[in-house]
């Protein structure tokens, strides 16, 4: 049996912002509360994960994560309101495409 497949990503002004891999990184950061832990879970270095976040920020035009430093319980990273909206938009459009392909 054959099946039509497609990859989906969001672009802004012709520049890629978010696709499957970047979405997974943001979701994992949100779940783990840490870029470092998310990167480790995904088998990438912190530096690589940070580079991806910077690419998303530049393409999106806004920061998608907010980090707080150290303290008693250590630092924390969470998605910004804009980051959550971007991820929601990505999933909404990916689901619509998936429904169309089925």
The model scores a pTM over 0.85: yes
* Residue 2 confidence (pLDDT): 84
Beta strands in 1-102 (DSSP E): 10-12, 15-18, 65-68, 76-79
Quickly name the fold that domain 15-101 has: Arc Repressor Mutant, subunit A (1.10.10)
CB atoms inside a 10 Å sphere around CB 39? 21
The pLDDT tens digits of the residues spanning 87-99 come to: 999 999 999 998 9
Residue with tokens 């994992």: 28
The three-class DSSP label of residue 13 is coil
pLDDT for 64 equals 97
Read off the tokens for 63.
Answer: 């920061």
**Predicted local distance difference test score (pLDDT) of residue 33:** 95
Give the pLDDT of residue 72. 66
β-strand pairing of 15-18 with 65-68:
unpaired
Tens of pLDDT along 31-60? 999 999 999 999 999 999 999 999 999 999
Band of pLDDT at residue 69, cut at 50, 70 and 90: confident
């Amino acid at each position: 049996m054959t099946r039509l497949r497609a990859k989906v990503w969001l672009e802004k002004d012709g520049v890629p912002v978010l696709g499957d891999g970047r979405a997974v990184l943001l979701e994992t950061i949100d779940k783990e509360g840490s870029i470092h832990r998310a990167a480790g879970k995904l088998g990438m270095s912190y530096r690589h994960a940070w580079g991806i976040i910077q690419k998303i920020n530049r393409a999106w035009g806004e920061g998608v994560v907010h980090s707080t430093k150290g303290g008693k319980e250590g630092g924390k990273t969470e998605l910004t309101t804009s980051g959550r909206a971007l991820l929601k938009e990505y999933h909404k459009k990916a689901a619509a495409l998936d429904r169309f392909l089925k």
